[in-house]
Structure 1
């Protein structure tokens, strides 16, 4: 069984943490061709006590991204869905914390999501802002 504390420890030992609070982490991963990609992981608890991790990675500023193309691209991914939050277009994926295998149920979706977000950012914005 994993906990939010286990996830924090896992991320701290593997990635450059940029910001951290009691309920979320923002960190950076290396991507292809010297690019980097920022990721946020939010710890979310439902009213009944069930805990979730919401993994998100930015694609670009929402006002600078072709929304229809973003949705088409998101439809090709194995994990994650497109969303807009606080003016940022992103991919996000949610996993339950209970009985979480950090390596298989967190790390694998994380890496897939980040690779897709970086590829979408490259195509849709021609930049590496996130």
Structure 2
């Protein structure tokens, strides 16, 4: 059975961790063309008997992007849903922690989510702020 500590250790050994608490961590991935993308991973306490891991990646400030276009772009992504949290537009994806295959059920959606968030950020802001 996979634990939250397993997820944290997986991230720590592979990525540059920027911030961390007991229930979340924020880290940066290096991408192509000298771009980077920040990601947050949250441990979501048990709901209906199952703990979850939420992966999120910012796209831009909600008041500075075309939110309708953001929703259209998010609809093309195989993982993640569009959200606005603390005035930041982001893509997020949630997976159950129990029986999580870190490589298949965490890393694969993480990479897809990060690629989509970075592409959306580039299209919507023409910047690399996150």
Calculate the TM-score normalised by the size of structure 1.
0.98
Q: Deviations over 1:78-127 (max 9, x none)?
A: 00011000010000000000000000000000000000000000000000
| Equivalent position of 1:37 in the other structure | 37
| Equivalent position of 1:69 in the other structure | 69
- Matches of 1:97 and 1:47, distance apart in 2: 11
**Paired positions, count:** 130
Q: What residue ranges of structure 1 are gaps of 5+ in the alignment?
A: none
2:26 is paired with a residue of what secondary structure?
strand
Which range is displaced more, 29-38 or 43-52?
A: 43-52
- 1:21-36 pair list within 5 angstroms: 21-36=21-36
2:116 is paired with a residue of what secondary structure?
helix
Report the alpha carbon displacement of residue 49 of structure 1 after superposing the two structures with TM.
4.0
Two-structure CA RMSD over aligned residues (Å): 0.8
Report the alpha carbon displacement of residue 31 of structure 1 after superposing the two structures with TM.
1.4
Which of structure 1's runs of 4+ aligned residues deviate more than 6 A?
none
Report the alpha carbon displacement of residue 46 of structure 1 after superposing the two structures with TM.
2.6
